[in-house]
Structure 1
Amino acid sequence: MKRKLMWILGGAGVLLLLSVMVSLSLGAAHVPLTKVWSILLDQVPLAGRLVSVPSGMEAESTIILDVRLTRVVLAILVGAALALAGAGFQGVLRNPLADPYTLGVATGASVGAAFLILFGWQTAAGQWTVPAVAFATGMLTLFGVLRLASHEGKMELETLLLSGVVVQAFLGSAVSFMVSLSNNVVNEIVFWMMGSLSKRGWDYSLAMIPYLVIGIVVLLSYSRNLNLFALGERQAAHMGVHVQRTKLVVLIVSTLLTAAAVSVAGVVGFVGLVVPHLVRLLFGPDYRILMPVSAVVGGMYVLWSDTLARLVLSPKEIPLGVVTAFIGAPFFAYLLRKRKMGR
C-alpha cells in the first residue's frame, strides 16, 4: 500500500508542479515557461548558482514572485484544506454528498467572518481572529445541522441535505442583513462572500499553513478508522474503533480546515464534494490513500479554477466561488441523481 501511495503522490505532485508553472505563465502579461522556470530556480539557494535570471527581466520577476506566486500558493493551500475537510465529512458521516458547502459549514463560518469585517474587528486578537471566530460559528452550524437532521439517532440523506439547505439559507440571510447594514465595507463583504484570492499576500498563506498541517496529521491518523466506518458504526466499534471520539475529532478538524479556508478566501463551494469523489473513482475508497491524494488534487483543482477566474474575462476577474459553483453544482446534481437511481 505504501508503494502504491508513493507512486500516486509522486504522479500527482508532478502534475501539481506543472500546473503551478503553467498558471504562473498565464495572465494579462504572458511569461514563457522557460523564463518562469529560471525566475523560480533563481530563488533557490543552490540552484540559483547554476541558473541566473537574464538582465531585462525585472518586470517579469516582479509579476511572478510578488503577484502570481502568492496567489498560486494560497490557491493550493485553500484547495487542499477544503478537499481534506470534504473527505473527512464524507467518511465520518458515511455520506458521499456531504461537504463543507452542502452542510452549511462554509456559510456558517462566513457569518463570523462577515461580522468581524462589518465592525472592523478582523485583527482584534491578531491574525488568528478571523479563523477562530469562523471556526466557532462553523462548529455551531455543523452541530445545528446534525441535530436538525437526526431523528432517534438516525440521519437520512435527504434529511441531512435539506437541513443543510435550510440552515445555509438562514445564515445566508444573516450575512445579507449585515451587508445591508454596512456602508464602507459592503463591497468587501459581498466580494468575499463569492470567494476570491485576489490581493492576498504571503501573510494569508502563512496563516493557512498551521491549520493545514494539523488537519493532514490528524485526519491521516484516523484514516484506518474511517475505512472501518464504511462498514457501519456498530461494526467499527466491534473492531476496536472508539466511534464517538473518532466522529468528534474528525468533525472538529474538518470544520477547522473549512474555517481556515473561508477566513482567507471567502466561500468557495463544492471543492470538498468534487475532489474526494474524483480521487475515489480513480484510486479507490481507501482513506489512507484518499486523504493525502485529495489534498494534492484539491490544490490543483482550486489552482486551475482560480486561473480560469483570472483569464476567462480578462482583464476583469470572475469570483473564484462562481467558477467552483459552475463546476460543482452540476456534479452534485449528477451524484444525487445517480444515488437515487441506484436505490
Structure 2
Amino acid sequence: MSTAHIDSSAALTRRLLHYARPRHLQLAARMAELGTIQKAALALGMSQPSATQALTRLEALLNVTLFDRHARGIRLTRAGAQLMPAVRRVLASLEDLARDAANVEQGANGLVRIAGIAAASSVIAAPALSALCAAHPDLWVEYREIDAAQIPVLCSEDGADLLLCRASIDVPEGYVFVSLRPDRLGVYCGSGHPLAARRKLGLRDCAGATWLLPPRSSPPHTAFIQWCEQHALTPKLARVNTRSLPVSVALVCRLQLLYVGLASHLRPFVESGQLRQLPLTLPGTADDIGLLRTSNSHSPAAELAARHLMDWASELAHGTAPAHPK
C-alpha cells in the first residue's frame, strides 16, 4: 500500500469524523433499501430538500457518487454498492453502542454476544446459558440462532464474541474450536408408531415401513443412504422433502414414518413424548458441537462465558451437570 494511499485514507477519515453525521449514513442506507429519495426522506421524517442536501453533502465528503438517478427512482452506483456494506456496519455499530450504554445504565456488568447453530441452541445454549444467567445476573447475554453459512462473516466482521457450531467448521485464522458435546445419529418414529414400543429391532422389522428422507447433503441423509446400500435395501419413501424440523416431526408423527436424524435436533421431541428413538445402529458419525472463539484478546465477559460453557461441558461429561434446563 503506497504512502499516498495511506495519507488519502487518513485525510478522508478526519473529514468524516469532523463533518459526517449518522443521519447522512442512515439516509443513504434507507435510499438503497427503498429505491427513492422521497420514500427514504419520508421514512426518516425529513423533507425532500433536506434529504437531497444531506446526500449531496455525504457524496462530497466521500468524493464518490453513491446513486444514479433514473425515471423510476435511484439505484446504487458500482462505488455505492461497494461502500454500502460499510455504511450499514457503521450504523450497526451505533446501534450496538446505544444498546451497550442502555445495558450499563441498567446495571449490566459486561456484555457477551453468542451466536449458535440450531443444534447448539437445544443441546448447549438452552441448558448452559440459563445457568450462566442465574450465576451472573449482572452479565448481559445476547444469544441469536444462525445458519452455519453465516459463521465466516461473523468472524471476519467481529459479529459475535463466541460461536457455537460443529467441529467440521473451517476454523478461521486466529480462532480455536473447543468440543463441548458429542452428537449421535439415530432412527426415530412417532410415539404412536407400531415399532415405537419395540426394545429390539432388526432391518427386517423396518422392511415395510415408510421413511421420510433426511435433507440432502446432511449427515443423516448420508448415513441413511449408506445403510440402504450396505443392506441392499430399497426403502419406501414418503413423497415429501423438507428441511424444516417442525414439519419433519409433524410428518413423522401423523403419517407414521421413520426418520434418520440427529440427537441434538430431535432430543426435545423425544423428551416431550412426540418421538421415540428406535434401537437401530446406523453407519457413520455426527460431528461434535462446540465453541469457536478467538485465540486471544477476549473481553472479560466473553472469557467468563467461555469458561462457564467449558466447565459445564466437563461437568456434564462427568455426570455432575444437568443436560437440560429444569
User: TM-score, normalised on structure 2?
Assistant: 0.28
User: TM-score, normalised on structure 1?
Assistant: 0.27
Return the structure number with greater helix share. Answer: 1
Higher gyration radius (CA): 2
**Higher relative contact order, structure no. (Cα contacts within 8 Å, ≥ 6 residues apart):** 1
